[in-house]
Each structure stands twice: as C-alpha cells, then as structure tokens.
Amino acid sequence: MNVLFMHTASSRLFSSVWVIALLSGCLGELRPALHINQTVLSISDNNSSAQLRQYTCGTTTTVYVSKGYQGRFASPNYPNLYSGGADCLWTLTTSTDAQFTLICDPLSISCTGDYLLFSPSGDTAFSDAVNPICGSGRLQVTSKANSIAIAFHSSYYTNGGGFSCVAQAQAPPTTSTLAPTPNCQCGIKGQNRVVGGQSAGVTEWPWQTLLADISPSGGGNQYCGATLISPNWVLTAAHCTHNRIAANIGVVVGQYDTKSLSSTSQVRRVSQIVQHPNFNRTTVNHDIALLKLDSPVSFTAAVRPVCLPNRFVNYNFDKQIGTVTGWGTTTFGGTASPNLLEVALPIISTENCRLNSIVGSKITENMFCTYAENKDACQGDSGGPLNWIDPQTGLGYIVGITSFGIGCAKLNTPGVYTKVTNYLSWIQQNTGTICSV
C-alpha cells in the first residue's frame, strides 16, 4: 500500500498569454529603474508611445490582483516567437495599500519597430511611459501606485522575439523592511539523504542547516533540514514546524556529521516560528516556514547564506539539474546517514509533474518535482534545500524545499518540493531583508 508521508526522521546529534494567472507568492528584490542585464534598456522612436491602437490581445478588462499574489502574462505564442502585427494591452490593479513590481525575464524584443510600453500609474494612453522599450535581457520596474498598464506592439516585418512577465502586488517598501541585503555574498559553494547519494564536502553546502528536537522527549535528535538565508533566519518546510514550539527546536549550521559537533559548527535556538498561514497539513500546500534564530550566526567558509531566486521568478527549471542535500535515511524505513549526503536530480516542472499518474493529482501551483531512477530525497531530508547552481555565475540558489513523497526512490514516483519562487515576497516581508544576486 502506498503511504503518503513527509520526509522526516531522526538521527542523534546531541546527547495562457491572454489570461493572467493569479498565483500566491512573490518577487522580492525591488529596483525602481528599468534595467536589462544591469544596463538601461534601448529606446525606440518616441512617436510610437503616443499612438493609441486597437488592441487585439491581452486582457479585455482590468484584472484585480490581491496583495500578496501575482499575475503572469507573456507575448503571443510564447515560448515561441511572436509574429508581426500584434497589439496587446494588459491592465492590472490591486488594493490601495499595495503596489506592483513588474519583472519580465527573459525579454527579447526587436528594436526594428517592436516595443513594450509601461505605465507606472495604469494610464492606458501611456502619457507617463518612459518611452518605448526594446532590447534583450531582464526588465524590472515598480509602479507609482496600485495600477499598471503594459502594451506591446510588433511590426508586420518583425523577426520575432518573446517575453514572459510576472506582476507582484505587495506592500510598498519602507526604510526598515523590504530592503535587499547589500553585498551579502550568497550562494558561494565550498570546493571540497538521500537515496543513491554521495557524501558532500565539509564546506560544500555552507547554507545546509540541521534541525534538532531539543524538547525533553526529543533527546537532541536531528529530525529535519533547513537552509540558512541570512544571519538571523533559516528556511524550512511547514510540516517540520507544525505543532512544535520554538523553544524546542535547535539549529546547527556549519555541520557535516550528526555524531558530534565540529570546529566549524554554530548552534542556535529558535526564538520565533513563522509558519505560512495557509499551510494545509492534508494537501501539504504552502509547505514553507521561517525560523528566527535567538542570535545571528557568523559567516565563515563553512557557514554562508544561499541565494534566493529573485531573478528566476519566471523559470520553471524543467529538465534542469537540482541537488538535494540532507542527513536523511538512505532507504525507506532505514537508518539516517551520519554524514551530509547529496544527490543530483532532474527537475520536473509543475505542469509536467501533474501528468504523473502517481503524484500528479496532488501537485498544486506551489509545488514541483524531481525524479531519477533509484535516487530520491528520503525520511529526514524534509525541510532541506533543493539547490540549483546558476551555470553562468556558479552561485547556489534554493529553488525548492523538500516536502513529501510516496515511499523513497520508487519507480516512476517523483519527489515533491515547495516552489520557493512563489514565496519570495512572503519571505521578504517576514524577515525584512533578502539575499540574492
């Protein structure tokens, strides 16, 4: 009989383009200027921005996006090239106590007659647009108030291009919150649970965190993993904090094995649990939580934060290789590994995982999967990271949180992970800072 379970265990340490999809989640990093690859976007003919066109695609009416949710839209035929003669208009609004951050990544618009217009106030005449936008790279911009409008035009003789955008409705930034951490130096791997896994180097995954049950009956046992995202906060799964109290959770970073503390280890208690308010124990939806440490850790070669995937909010990571790390059991029902293990697994997008006959019906928009024969996360790996290394920079990002599975490494049965890109603004709003590049 198949049994749905959370990957928890213990080991001894101490004694569509026309329709905007509304998704819970986040963007995070806010930058007020229009940028592509850190440079100002190309500008096309100013006269184009004054033209009012008959729009044949986009939203037929203004779409309302609740604060804390996001709308997604893309160019016609995306991910294929758009064709000539397109005129699209998207208009979005949110509550008066929120504003939009718009990120288009990737974005590729020909500068020979094609352009994008952005109104930070939602003006469909685009009188306040910064001029038509074209070029290739990444666009990020913030609204002035609670409405935005975006228009797209392609000339009849275009060579085509494409873009995918997400608009996040969130509280305006203040001087004390929602500020990216400058020079946080995240995602730097060291050089030196996993079913089919191999031992990781002592400093290879310096953000890997161990959670221990330090309640009177817990005996200091390792029961879940977590991920260091700042000196004061770790990220884990909500089912690792469900019905637990902060005082009974111990946190260890800079740790390689569970037999004894090492010279690189730093131990902290938890002062606050921030579990996602919509976590559902039955469906395991919104399986994400934050733990605030009772005092900050010090960054060393063995203790560093992971990068949060702010600039990859539109990526589905399908067929990319992720690496799961943890001290979980190496077989279902087996003993936990005393050493930190890692296993590389192909990522399966939300859409493709839903096609799986075994776990597909359980997959929400806040989940995705991994699968490789005879390899998997297992009991005790829960709450730990699914790491993804950016091939361009070599930096490590947490794209998933180990959530649940049916058995371990069963044939044609993917493991399921919380999709971190859907929760970046929730993380930022609760921690006050965010570490990303």
pLDDT for 373-417, tens place per residue?
A: 766 555 547 899 999 999 888 899 999 999 987 766 567 888 999
> What is the domain extent for residue 70?
41-170
Of 238, 243, 350, 359, nearest to 289 by C-alpha is: 238
What confidence score (pLDDT) does residue 406 get?
Answer: 73
Please give the residue that has the higher pLDDT: either 51 or 65: 65
Task: Return the active site residues.
Answer: 239, 287, 382
We report the CATH number of the domain holding residue 250 as 2.40.10.10
Number of C-alpha atoms within 13 angstroms, CB side, residue 182? 1
Torsion of CA 380, 415, 69, 425, to 10 degrees: 40
In a shared domain, residues 226 and 136:
no
Query: CB of 184 within 8 A of CB of 107?
Result: no
In a shared domain, residues 46 and 166:
yes
Query: CB of 335 within 8 A of CB of 379?
Result: no
Query: Is residue 283 in some structural domain?
Result: yes
Please give the residue that has the higher pLDDT: either 433 or 146: 146
What confidence score (pLDDT) does residue 10 get?
Answer: 45
What confidence score (pLDDT) does residue 428 get?
Answer: 86
In a shared domain, residues 110 and 157:
yes
Query: Is residue 165 in some structural domain?
Result: yes
Supply the DSSP string of 334-393, one letter for each residue.
Answer: -PBPSB-EEEEEEEE-HHHHTT-TTTGGG--TTEEEE-BTTBB--TT-TT-EEEEE-TTT
We report the CATH number of the domain holding residue 54 as 2.60.120.290
Last-in-domain residue among 170, 199, 218: 170
In a shared domain, residues 79 and 148:
yes
In a shared domain, residues 74 and 139:
yes
- CA–CA dist 159, 157 (Å, integer): 7
Confidence of residue 348 (pLDDT cuts 50, 70, 90): very high
In a shared domain, residues 151 and 215:
no
Last-in-domain residue among 261, 293, 325: 293
In a shared domain, residues 216 and 166:
no
Query: Is residue 300 in some structural domain?
Result: no
pTM of the model: 0.63
Query: Is residue 316 in some structural domain?
Result: no
Q: What percent of the chain has pLDDT over 70?
A: 77
28-42, 123-137, 253-267, 308-322: least confidently modelled range: 28-42
Number of C-alpha atoms within 13 angstroms, CB side, residue 14? 19
pLDDT digits (tens, 9 = 90+) for 56-92: 888 878 999 888 788 888 899 888 899 999 999 999 9
In a shared domain, residues 148 and 237:
no
Interior angle at CA 249, CA 242 and CA 381, nearest 5: 70
In a shared domain, residues 47 and 163:
yes
- Tally of domains within the chain: 2
In a shared domain, residues 217 and 162:
no
The stretch 356-362 carries a mean pLDDT of: 92
Strand partners, 272: 292
Query: Is residue 122 in some structural domain?
Result: yes
Q: Is omega for the bond preceding 305 within 30 degrees of 0, making it cis? A: no
Query: Is residue 200 in some structural domain?
Result: no
In a shared domain, residues 54 and 113:
yes
Confidence of residue 303 (pLDDT cuts 50, 70, 90): very high
Of 310, 379, 386, nearest to 343 by C-alpha is: 386
Token output for 329: 């059991």
Residue for token pair 């996602």:
276
Confidence of residue 218 (pLDDT cuts 50, 70, 90): confident
In a shared domain, residues 131 and 235:
no
Query: Is residue 140 in some structural domain?
Result: yes
- CA–CA dist 7, 227 (Å, integer): 16
What region does 388 belong to: left with phi over 0, alpha with psi -120 to 50, or beta? beta
Q: Which amino acid is at 4?
A: L
What confidence score (pLDDT) does residue 94 get?
Answer: 93
Confidence of residue 363 (pLDDT cuts 50, 70, 90): very high
Query: Is residue 158 in some structural domain?
Result: yes
Last-in-domain residue among 293, 309, 327: 293
Query: CB of 31 within 8 A of CB of 140?
Result: yes
